[in-house]
Structures are given as C-alpha cells and as structure tokens.
Amino acid sequence: MLFVCSGNSNSGISPIINNQASALREHIDGLSIDFFPIVGKGFKGYANNIIRLKRKLKKEKYDIIHAHYSLSAFVASLAGAKPLIVSLMGSDVKASYYYKLIIKLFQYFFLWKAIIVKSEDMKKSLKSQNAIVLPNGVDFKRFVPMIKEECQEILKWDTQKMHLLFASNPQRPEKNFALTQQALELLNREDIEIHFLMNVSNEQTPIWYNAADVVILTSLWEGSPNAIKEAMACNRPIVSTNVGDVSWLFGDIPGCYLTDFNAKVCADNITKALLFSIEKGGTNGRERIIKLRLENRQVSEAIANLYKSVSNN
C-alpha cells in the first residue's frame, strides 16, 4: 500500500495518518505501507509533487494507493495512481459547493475506487450515496484510564483546582475557542484552569486527557473528532458542541454533554460536567467506543476488507 498525504505538519506526516498506518501494520498480517509525503501548501505547492509521485509509481508497484484529504487525492489522480482510495476529512466536505463539485468530477473522471468519510454528516454534506462511513479508530493500548491526580502531578497542574482541557489549538477558527472563553467568563470561577491540547507529543497526549477534570471541544464543525473518541477511551467527562458524529459517539452515557452555540448553555454544561467529575470520577466512554466498534483493531479490519474488495475488482 502507498499512503499519499501531506507532509507539512510540524511532525511531517499527520499523527492521525501515522496512527492509522501503525494500526494497520499491527493488526493486519502481511500488509506493507509506504508513505509519499507531499511537501508544499495550496494548489501550487501540491501540484509540484505530481511529477515526483508519477516517477515513484513507475519505479515501484503498489496494490492500493490510499490518498488522505482531497488535495492529496488530486495529486494522486493526476499522477496516474490506480487503484485509488480516497479518505476525506471534515474540511474537505465543509468547503464550498464548487470545491465539492471538483471532488466529484475527479472521482468520476479518474475512477476512484472508493471514498471514505468519517461520519454520516460528512456523507450528507458531500451528497455521495456511495461514500463509505468509516471513522478513525482509537488505540486502546495508549488511550487508557489513568489516575487523574498522578497525571496532574506529572504535568505540574495545581491539584487544588479544577482543570478543563480544550482539545485543540485555540487559534484555529473552526475550533471556536471563543465559545469556551465566553462560557468561562460567565462562570467566573477562580478554581478553574484551562489548558490546550496543542504541541503535545503522541506519548504525552493520554496523560493530558487523564489529567483533565473535563475535556471540552466547541468546534463549529467536525468530521469524527479523534479527540472526543480518545477522551472517551480514557473515560473522561466531556462537553462538546453537537457537530460531526459526536451525538452518535456519546449516545446516552452519563458524563458526556452536548451543547449548542449559546455561551450560557455551554457554561451550564461545563458546570454539570465538573460536578460529574467530582461525584463520579469517570464515564463509561471506553465501553461505548467498544460497542461502536471503533477500537483500532476493529477499524483496521474494516479498512483491510475494503482494500481486499478493491484489489479483487
């Protein structure tokens, strides 16, 4: 297999894509995965990689090329990559009507074998009946419940305060930190500290989740947010806007609260989540992830079955 993806993140290849490759290697026997990292941003930056990828495909033969994000899929298509599977993320299908039209034209003219989206909401937004809904899985070996106080000690957080973890970079507009900030201003509690899950290594991320009394995500839109699934695997209380597949992920488990975009409602839900954290400690989020078949092994098997069906056609 060849993964075609951006190589422009701080760590090179996105941890999300790296984690998917690692899970496939671990759980699927005989599966070999190479990477083609695209270096350069925007249409022009991506276009500069077409010839380089074409040369690689002439030199090496792959059973499946799996492109992650639409721009990577455009590069793979123009480089002649076949058979091609494309994974779209939230930003791809929340783009303009014309951008989604370009995706459909590429799918039609370059004969993409399959499109993977992360949620039913994404499938509806893309208006593609043939899209396959397959969220990213969770590594249950890494994301496990830990003792909160011990994690706070490791991170040197004040154990006498309540800690909220905003599960993203607050500078990203789509993550809508402004709503969290407005809610905290309404609460006006000196016993609450806010932390941000940014520039945190893969190894440290589970510690950050487990150190938090409540994990919060107030995004304007999402596909199937990995942060929510990872926090659930750690049994953390959560407050999230009702975006992507979060409502489906939560189900009706106590300690996980959906909020709208009203600051007062968000503040009320934060209060409920903090109280739950004090009284109950953790949720049953991990059991819910297992029930939804979103553990890495389960998702890897589904992806491998898709690879087999494509290669056999």
Q: What is the pLDDT of residues 265-303, one digit of tens each?
A: 999 999 999 999 999 999 999 999 999 999 999 999 999
**142 in a structural domain:** no
In terms of domains, do 213 and 273 share one? yes
**143 in a structural domain:** no
**169 in a structural domain:** yes
**201 in a structural domain:** yes
In terms of domains, do 91 and 207 share one? no
SS3 label, residue 127: coil
- Judged against a pLDDT cut of 90, whether residue 11 lies above it is answered with no
Distance CA 179, CA 164 (A): 14
In terms of domains, do 103 and 235 share one? no
Give the range of the structural domain holding residue 55, as residue numbers without chain letter: 2-137+295-311
Distance CA 298, CA 313 (A): 23
Per-residue tokens: 75: 């590069």
Quick one: pLDDT at residue 8? Answer: 81
In terms of domains, do 158 and 97 share one? no
Give the C-alpha distances (Å, rounded to integers) separating 111 from 80, 187, 193, 269: 11, 53, 51, 46
In terms of domains, do 90 and 181 share one? no
- Judged against a pLDDT cut of 90, whether residue 42 lies above it is answered with no
- Residue 100's pLDDT band, with cuts at 50, 70 and 90, is confident
In terms of domains, do 59 and 117 share one? yes
**287 in a structural domain:** yes
Per-residue tokens: 129: 């009946």
Tens digit of each residue's pLDDT (9 = 90 or more) over 232-262: 999 999 999 999 999 999 999 999 999 999 9
In terms of domains, do 122 and 156 share one? no
- 135 preceded by cis ω (within 30°)? no
In terms of domains, do 255 and 166 share one? yes
In terms of domains, do 264 and 303 share one? no
- Judged against a pLDDT cut of 80, whether residue 313 lies above it is answered with no
Radius of gyration from C-alpha coordinates of the chain: 20
Query: Could you tell me which residues are beta bridge partners of residue 215?
Result: 165, 238
**161 in a structural domain:** yes
SS3 label, residue 58: helix
- The mean pLDDT value for 158-172 works out to 96
Quick one: pLDDT at residue 41? Answer: 82
In terms of domains, do 125 and 155 share one? no
**For the domain that residue 153 is a member of, what is the CATH number?**
3.40.50.2000
In terms of domains, do 163 and 252 share one? yes
Quick one: pLDDT at residue 20? Answer: 92
Tens digit of each residue's pLDDT (9 = 90 or more) over 191-216: 999 999 998 988 899 999 999 999 99
Instruction: Name the pTM for this structure.
Output: 0.88
Number of domains in the chain: 2
In terms of domains, do 188 and 244 share one? yes
